Amino acid sequence: MTKLSRRQVVAGVGVASVAAVAGCLDGIDADGDEASSGTTLGSVSIENLDSSSHTVDVIVQRDSEVEHWSTHELDGGEGTDIEADWSDEPGAFQIITRLDHDELRRTSLSEFDRQDCINLTVIVGRDGGLSVLTETDAGEC
């Protein structure tokens, strides 16, 4: 029989505790009221880490409605912030991005519905690839 370390026992108890209460607080916010569905989208920025220039399209959808659509031409090493002209009410947000007029990429924020605020950074990597990074612990909501 393998002997468990104190750290393994504490980690196991933590996981078991989370599993035991999972779902118990669905639909309840910090004040005990029924929570809104979705999250609030704060800031969205774009960073081009590649040495080449790129064109990036960003579409913000809230509850299946387009709330923002902009195209940004960025030189190598350049970045920009997108003006937040979308609703500051919680909703089911989806971000659609496109690099250099290629295929559209959809990023759903539904997995973050329990977060008060989501901030995004669209990154053009040094290899010319596109990714969307999310931040849930700070921001402009």
Task: Render pLDDT for 22-81 as a digit per residue (tens, 0 to 9).
Answer: 444 444 444 444 445 788 999 999 999 999 999 999 999 999 999 999 999 999 999 999
Rounded Cα distance, 48 and 127, in Å: 11
What are the Cα distances from residue 60, in Å, to 10, 36, 64, 79, 106? Answer: 42, 19, 9, 18, 10
Backbone angles phi, psi at 112, to 5 degrees: -105, 20
Taking the C-alpha atoms of residue 62 and residue 58, their distance in angstroms, rounded to an integer, is 13
Chain-centre distance for alpha carbon 141: 13
Q: What is the pLDDT of residue 36?
A: 52
Q: What are the residues whose beta carbons fall under 8 Å from the beta carbon of 135, sequence distance 6 or more? A: 118, 119, 120, 121
Mean of the per-residue pLDDT values of the chain: 80
Tokens found for residue 91:
């909703």
Q: Which residue has the higher pLDDT, 71 or 14?
A: 71
Sheet order of strands, 79-82 included? 79-82, 40-48, 117-124, 130-135
Report phi then psi at 18, rounded to 5.
-65, -45
pLDDT interval class at 97 (50, 70, 90): very high
Instruction: Give residue 30's pLDDT.
Output: 47
Q: For position 12, what pLDDT does the model report?
A: 52
Task: Work out the average pLDDT over 105-130.
Answer: 90
What domains sit in the chain, N to C, each tagged with a CATH number? 40-135 (2.60.40.4150)
pTM over 0.95: no
pLDDT for the residue 29: 46
Amino acid 1 reads M
Residue 132 in this model has a pLDDT that exceeds 80 = yes
